[in-house]
Amino acid sequence: MKNQKSTLLACLTLVSAFMFSSCTKDSSSTTGWNYNDSDWGGFERVEYAGQETGPGLVLIEGGSFAMGQSEQDVMYEHHNVTRKVTVKSFYMDQTEISNLQYREYLYWLGRVFGADYPEVQRKALPDTLVWRDELAYNEPYVEYYLRHPAYANYPVVGVSWLQANDYCKWRTDRVNELLLISQGILDINPNQVNEDNFNTDAYLIGQYEGMVKKNLPDLNPSGSGERRVKFEDGIVQPDYRLPTEAEWEFAALALAGNQPYPDEERITDRKIYPWNGTSVRFPKGGGWQGTILANFVRGQGDYMGMAGKLNDNAEITAPVDTYFPNDYGLFNMAGNVSEWVMDVYRPMSTQDVNELNPFRGNVFMEPELDADGIPVEKDSLGRVKYVKVKDEDNVNRTNYKKAEVINYNDGDEMSAAAYNYGVSSLINNKARVYKGGSWADRAYYLSPGSRRFMDEERSTAMVGFRCAMDRVGSPSGNDLPGGNQFKKR
């Protein structure tokens, strides 16, 4: 009897311990097994405090809006018909990328690749000859604009769409490398050369070691006791990239500033400029009344106004943090320079794309694998090799069938017959959209709904760029969880 009581007590104790462990925050709610415990297998759950805002970025809380033309279509292009779409939350640079910021990139390329691969830096150089004009004296801009300290805080120009994308990739790696250094995982290594340079993808798949200071503890009982950072740790940031056309237009309109009270859903879509009103001058009283709000051409031959009263105080570009910021705090979403976005241009894109996160230009990629399913060795510049997803791998998919879907639903056979894309037209898969007006444009192009296109390999003195980054998790700021949390009110 005594033994039976002891056995029963032991069982109750075990059940009680199991029930207690399954209710604590350090155990699974579905299996009861402990998290972060090497004695229980070592499966790790990370307490994620929320996404940090990367250097230079501003959180753009997403939502629905009327995307498209809000100004009269004076060019009769009919390529931006208004439609309602939703954009997820994301981050965007507060300013355009400046000459100083781009020169930091060029310096790094020269330091790391200059000895053996000088063509890498040459490929990234902006085309300073974009300033030349047959009937204008613009040679000072050719010589001084990119490198002279007087223009350090001015937007970089002469950069193609391809070059802008390469800059975004480089910035991703530098920011993530610094995060690992600040976490005490890596030491600073200023002597990286050729393929031995920090690349986020290469680090995550184990093809870059770096100067390790202290790895994370490995709780896997079969492990070595320490491990490198994984993507699941939430330490590295998502990629910097160009914004999509929808994201750029949404951020430029800054409709969040039109909400009069917290938690009130007020729909106000028809906004001509990144600021409220129909004037390009500051409308209210005080010292700013009548001041030009953006850098553009006011009229024929008027690039900056009259001596003694310069209307926008800039004959070409101006510093990236000047003029009137919109309600997201973004500078120069109208004027100064137009900006590259990710999208491939199609005249009828406005009617065909998705209502959630609309974008044309997807080419689905995956790491190149060897016969054993392991990523092949990184290239000579230290970057992971990617290839298009194979069509035969998509046979049973219902959401997509092909890797390259730039031409999806753009007219298919009709598009070639009716428009001759890329043959008798400038519109092909290399035609990229750029948005916003520039210092050389009239006010018509200051409207966020305006859109133009140019070949991805070309550049001008009127087009620059800024970067964006995905927001992961909750769409709201202040680390609030997603969804409506009734139980917490």
Question: For the chain, what is the mean pLDDT?
Answer: 87
pLDDT band at 482 (very low <50, low <70, confident <90, very high): confident
198: phi then psi, degrees, rounded to nearest 5? -70, 125
Retrieve residue 112's tokens: 């790391």
CA distance 379 to 375: 11
Retrieve residue 7's tokens: 């056995």
Domain boundaries, the chain: 60-183+235-358+407-474
| Residue 263 in this model has a pLDDT that exceeds 60 | yes
- pLDDT tens digits for 158-168? 999 999 999 99
Over residues 450-464, the mean pLDDT reads 96
Total-model pTM = 0.90
Residue 133: per-residue pLDDT: 95
Length of the chain: 489
User: Which has the closest alpha carbon to 120: 194, 11, 225, 15?
Assistant: 194
- pLDDT tens digits for 89-124? 999 999 999 999 999 999 999 999 999 999 999 999
Q: Which helix (H) or strand (E) holds 181?
A: helix 161-182
60-183+235-358+407-474: CATH homologous superfamily? Answer: paralog of FGE (formylglycine-generating enzyme) (3.90.1580.10)
- pLDDT tens digits for 319-371? 999 999 999 999 999 999 999 999 999 887 555 668 899 999 999 999 999 99
Residue 454: per-residue pLDDT: 96
| Residue 4 in this model has a pLDDT that exceeds 50 | no
Over residues 422-448, the mean pLDDT reads 87
| Residue 436 in this model has a pLDDT that exceeds 60 | yes
Residue 447: per-residue pLDDT: 92
Strands (E), 183-286: 216-217, 226-227, 240-241
* Least confident window among 43-52, 181-190, 204-213: 43-52
Residue 479: per-residue pLDDT: 65
Residue 73: per-residue pLDDT: 65
User: Which has the closest alpha carbon to 295: 276, 270, 274, 278?
Assistant: 274
* 70/402: higher pLDDT: 402
Over residues 24-40, the mean pLDDT reads 86
* Least confident window among 187-201, 379-393, 409-423: 409-423
Residue 143: per-residue pLDDT: 97
pLDDT band at 83 (very low <50, low <70, confident <90, very high): confident
Over residues 413-440, the mean pLDDT reads 73
CA distance 459 to 465: 11
Retrieve residue 451's tokens: 């859109």
Residue 9: per-residue pLDDT: 43
